Amino acid sequence: MKFTFSEDHRLHFPQAELHGGEFVTPFERPSRVEYVLNRLRTVGMTDLIAPDAYDPAPVAAIHDAGYLNFLATAWADWTAAGYRGEIVPTGFPMRRMQQRIPQEIDGKAGYYCLAVETAITGGTWAAAQSSCAVAQTAQRLVAGGDRAAFALCRPPGHHAAIDMYGGYCFINNAAVAAEMFRRDGAKRVAILDVDFHHGNGTQDIFYHRDDVLFCSLHGAPETAFPYFLGYADETGAGKGEGFNANYPMPEGTPYEVWGAALDDAARRIATFGPDALVVSLGVDTFKDDPISYFKLDSPDFLKIGQRIARLGLPTLFVMEGGYAIGAIGLNTVNVLEGFENA
């Protein structure tokens, strides 16, 4: 299986993240990529493809223009305002407030931000573009005839909504790839999100569409980030009714229960009959992940790859979460090896 990644991911590394009332080293950090790369080399998966240049056209098709302009100009506006730290907004358009976009950069950041654990730095926009370019390049490999490809994206993307960033995400890489498959002639595309956290951004982007099926397996929103989307009764709207499937599960969920949800999602995908599959590959379902609460073990990730392979679809794997740093390489590559050897 060919894979892509960019060293430019290192341009995004905030100094701290707000977690549990304290500032800590971000869980989403550059070393995550190194552990995955090391495991890929260990198992002999060394077919690395350098990413093509970032293509803004499919990104503009799924993200709001004002939001993208904000990401492109936020750091310059922030420093011009005299702020010396990283961008962490202090105000938000909450219930019964106006939804007008402020001119001042702190207010503007609050308008576009969905979670303050995600700081913006001087290199964030360049890193986000490079991460998207990695996904775009891997998508072209699959669209060109490869059975599968792996986009080792960082920063991740599935929390990035039409016009909001957060959850460590800025551009929704999986959604961009799905849009590219459609532009390349696929009549239908499925997105399977196996990250512990609900893919709220991907749901937001495709909620009213019937050409992209979105299935997400995740922690119940009553107790897990991002809290405000991911309920089972969110099934799509308008033309998209019936094309959004959420599988929220409680604390302590073992593979036997999680795997049954995967089987159901796979049946939905098979019935939908897509021409391509995009997998938002988060491995924070691992039992020792520091910010998640499922109980999957490393051998279970082989089973995930095997089950996905049985769908028999051209498949793009896009890296999302996974914060047990020492195990992220093993767990990620287990999915890929399970798929390859099925």
With the CA atoms of 59, 120, 153 and 25 taken in that order, what torsion angle do they form, in degrees rounded to the nearest 10? -160
Distance CA 205, CA 74 (A): 22
Strand partners, 217: 247
Residue entry with tokens 């059975």: 147
Q: What are the CA-CA distances from residue 1 to residues 40, 43, 69, 333 (Å)?
A: 10, 12, 35, 11
Q: Which two tokens stand for residue 24?
A: 């800590």
One-letter amino acid identity for 171?
Answer: I
Backbone angles phi, psi at 143, to 5 degrees: -60, -25
Distance CA 161, CA 318 (A): 16
Active-site residue, selected from the candidate residues 9, 12, 159, 197: 159
Distance CA 229, CA 159 (A): 11
Distance CA 211, CA 283 (A): 27
**3-class SS at 113?**
strand
Q: Quick one: which of 230, 288, 294 has its CA closest to 27?
A: 288
Residues in the chain: 342
Respond yes or no: is residue 158 known to be catalytic: no
Q: At a CB cut-off of 8 Å and minimum separation 6, what does 105 contact?
A: 74, 77, 78, 80, 81, 83, 87
Distance CA 302, CA 305 (A): 5
Residues with a known catalytic role:
159
